[in-house]
Every structure is written in C-alpha cells, then in structure tokens.
Amino acid sequence: VCLAAALAASGCAQLLGQGRDTSGPGERARDYLRAQPYTSVLVELDYVDGSAPEDRAVSLLQSRLNQATGKAIEVVKTGGVAGMGAGHRYTLGEVVDLEGKFRGQSTGGTQAVLYVLYVDGGFERDTNEAKTLAAAYRGSSVVLFKGSIREASCTSNCLNLPVGNTKPPIAEVEESVVVHEAGHILGLVNNGIPMQSPHEDTDPDHGRHHSSDQGSVMYWAVETSVVGSILGQTPPDDFDANDKADLQAARA
Ligand SMILES: [Zn+2]
C-alpha cells in the first residue's frame, strides 16, 4: 500500500510538516538508487518487543536492497517501541507518532536511511476479509503489522497443514512483504521511477503501483492477508525482469 494520498487526507501531512520529511513513498527513490550523493544505505529497523522481524526477512531485505542499489546495506535493529497490543488497529497518525518518537537516523551526509517499523497489531483499514500486512507511508518509511502477518501465516507445523490450508510459513510471508514495501520506496511500480515497459496492474481493486505479474514481489496480493490463498505457500520474494529494468534505468 502506498499511502501518500492517505497522509494528506488524514491530516498527517500537517503533522509531518513540522520539520519532518513530508515526501511520499517513491519520491525519494533516487536517494537510494543513484550512485551519488548517498553511497551507502542504513536500514533502521525498530520493533515492538515480541514483534521482532524474522531473521530471514532481514537478511533478504538486505540482499535485495544491495542488488537493487549496488550499495552496501547496513541494518541496525532495536526493540523497545511502545506498542498498543496485538489486537490494536493502528491509525496512520499513530504510526507516524511512533516514528517521531523512536526513529533516530535520517538521510544525510553520504548515507540514505530506510526506516522500517514493526508494530504488534493491524491497520485501521483492515476488514474481516482482507488485512493490510504492511504499508509504505513516506519517502523513507515503511510499517509492518506483525499481528496481521501472524494471522496470514502458518507459525508452526507448516508441513502438516490440514487440507485446504494454504497459509505460508511466517518467514515466507515476511520476506515477501518487506521486500515489497522496499520496492515501493525504490519507486516501484510507476511510483516515482519511470516504467521501461508497461507492467503496472491497472485493476482498481488491487491498489496502485503494483505489478501485473503474479511472479513479481510487487504483485498486489503480497501485502494482504489473502497472500496464501492467492499465491500459495511460497509467495514471490524478488523483483521480476520488468521491475529490475526500471530500477537499473533509475540508477543511471
Ligand atoms: Zn503494495
């Protein structure tokens, strides 16, 4: 989900205007992709205790960012974010407030920073049918809703699921969704960097800035709780050839 419009609509834009980064997702893509002025990337990853990221998701994010940008990627992980409980549905304003309180690093000098926040609950827009697993909400910020990621995943005994249960293991879901949100920050799809050939999903039910390719990590279902029922137990966790062509062109 790309929430630039939502920010403005909810009044967060004003909140953000007080000396903070007001850019929308994708607007800072070139900070990460261009060789200059930022020669390295720091991922600041803050989490509510008990909702830490899966190690595999952190490793994959690091490697996908390295492949996309050609830069060294450093990750710093810190717990202690004041969460509101696994049953809480966070508003965008609450997410922005948490970032304001807990984010320590911003882009500057020779380093671009990506802020990744893990909270324990879900999102205000969630319905019983579909929950948002994560969202890119500013030019350098994404949030993951670990409570909803858990619900969309198999957390134990994943090889012995009852017939008809297609929930992927939690590490699979999280690898895919964290790379997907990073993709929005990097300008995909048609979200700040130009498409080299048309590959944006034009179905209005699928949200904006997604790939039409079910084999791309930028496919819309990756960031929703229906991920398993649509994409099965191993959702895509890499950019496809069209995504990669866009990223490569934007680096030049
Ligand atoms: Zn998305």
Q: How many CA atoms lie within 13 A of 168 on its CB side?
A: 26
**pLDDT score for 16:** 45
**Ligand 1 centre from 160 Cα, in Å?**
30
How many residues make up the chain in this entry? 252
Please check the confidence at residue 127 and state whether its pLDDT lies above 50: yes
**Ligand 1 centre from 17 Cα, in Å?**
24
Asked if residues 113 and 40 have their Cβ atoms less than 8 Å apart, the reply is no
Question: Tens digit of pLDDT for each residue in 236-251?
Answer: 999 999 999 999 999 9
pLDDT band for position 134 (cuts 50, 70, 90): very high
Share of the chain above pLDDT 90, in %: 83
**pLDDT score for 3:** 73
**Ligand 1 centre from 208 Cα, in Å?**
7
Asked if residues 139 and 27 have their Cβ atoms less than 8 Å apart, the reply is yes
**pLDDT score for 154:** 86
**Ligand 1 centre from 220 Cα, in Å?**
6
pTM: 0.92
Residues 6 or more apart whose Cβ sits within 8 Å of residue 146: 47, 48, 51, 118, 119, 120, 121
Asked if residues 87 and 121 have their Cβ atoms less than 8 Å apart, the reply is yes
